[in-house]
């Protein structure tokens, strides 16, 4: 569901991204004609399956992670609409949220019934941040959005010259 959501968001503007984010936040509500049936169906099906095995704490963590991710990709769509290019540090901070790793981590733990103390232990949090960094850095190579990638941010901020090319 997360990567289906991401595919739709990458193609849309801010309003379309917000519409998709609302579907993800309210999967069990009645669809309106504005909500595409396939998205709503996929989200509701995923939600129903997850609830069967997920502990209340893991459901809560997934919802929190997905909300943060949703807000970040809606902001990314807004930035794309306005042709905003982030500084290097801004890009890194945004990309940590838009890569979708945090909700995926929450999905992995759904049936584990882990207490918050374990998930939020400093060692686990540090390892998670490092994993997210590795995922988004690897994704830079495949990223096709000219205004939302680290290379564009570096070129704009540092203005490197390439003599001899």
* C-alpha–C-alpha distance, residues 10 and 12, integer Å: 6
- Nearest one of 152, 129, 43, 96 to 51, comparing CA atoms: 43
Q: What does each C-alpha distance from 128 to 16, 42, 119, 120, 153 come to in angstroms?
A: 30, 27, 10, 10, 24
- Please report which confidence band the pLDDT of residue 161 belongs to, taking 50, 70 and 90 as the band edges: confident
Averaged over 95-124, what is the pLDDT?
Answer: 92
Report the range of poorest mean pLDDT among 68-82, 95-109, 145-159.
145-159
pLDDT of residue 31: 41
Predicted confidence (pLDDT) at residue 67 exceeds the cutoff of 50: yes
Q: pTM higher than 0.85 for the full model?
A: no
- Please report which confidence band the pLDDT of residue 45 belongs to, taking 50, 70 and 90 as the band edges: confident
- Please report which confidence band the pLDDT of residue 35 belongs to, taking 50, 70 and 90 as the band edges: very low
Q: Tell me which long-range contacts 126-129 makes (C-beta under 8 A, separation of at least 24).
A: 128/102, 129/96
Task: Please say whether the beta carbons of 80 and 113 come within 8 A.
Answer: no
Domain range summary for the chain, segments of one domain joined by +: 2-158
User: Per CATH, which fold does 2-158 belong to?
Assistant: Farnesyl Diphosphate Synthase (1.10.600)
Please, what is the end-to-end C-alpha distance for the chain in angstroms? Answer: 43
Predicted confidence (pLDDT) at residue 109 exceeds the cutoff of 60: yes
pLDDT of residue 142: 60
User: What angle in degrees, to the nearest 10, is found between the helix axes of 14-25 and 37-53?
Assistant: 30
pLDDT of residue 1: 66
């Amino acid at each position: 569901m997360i990567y289906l959501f991401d595919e739709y968001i990458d193609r849309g503007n801010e309003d379309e991204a917000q519409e998709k984010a609302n579907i993800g936040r309210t999967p069990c509500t009645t669809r309106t004609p504005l909500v595409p049936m396939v998205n709503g169906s996929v989200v509701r099906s995923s939600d129903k399956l997850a609830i069967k095995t997920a502990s209340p704490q893991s459901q809560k963590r997934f919802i929190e992670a997905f909300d943060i991710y949703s807000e970040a990709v809606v902001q990314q769509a807004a930035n794309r609409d306005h042709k905003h290019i982030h500084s290097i540090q801004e890009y890194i901070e945004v990309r940590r949220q838009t890569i979708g790793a945090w909700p995926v981590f929450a999905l992995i733990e759904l049936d584990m019934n882990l207490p918050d103390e374990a998930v939020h232990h400093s060692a686990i949090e540090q390892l998670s941040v490092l994993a997210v960094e590795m995922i988004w850095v690897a994704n830079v190579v495949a990223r096709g959005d000219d205004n939302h990638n680290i290379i564009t941010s570096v070129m704009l901020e540092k203005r490197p010259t390439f003599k001899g090319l």
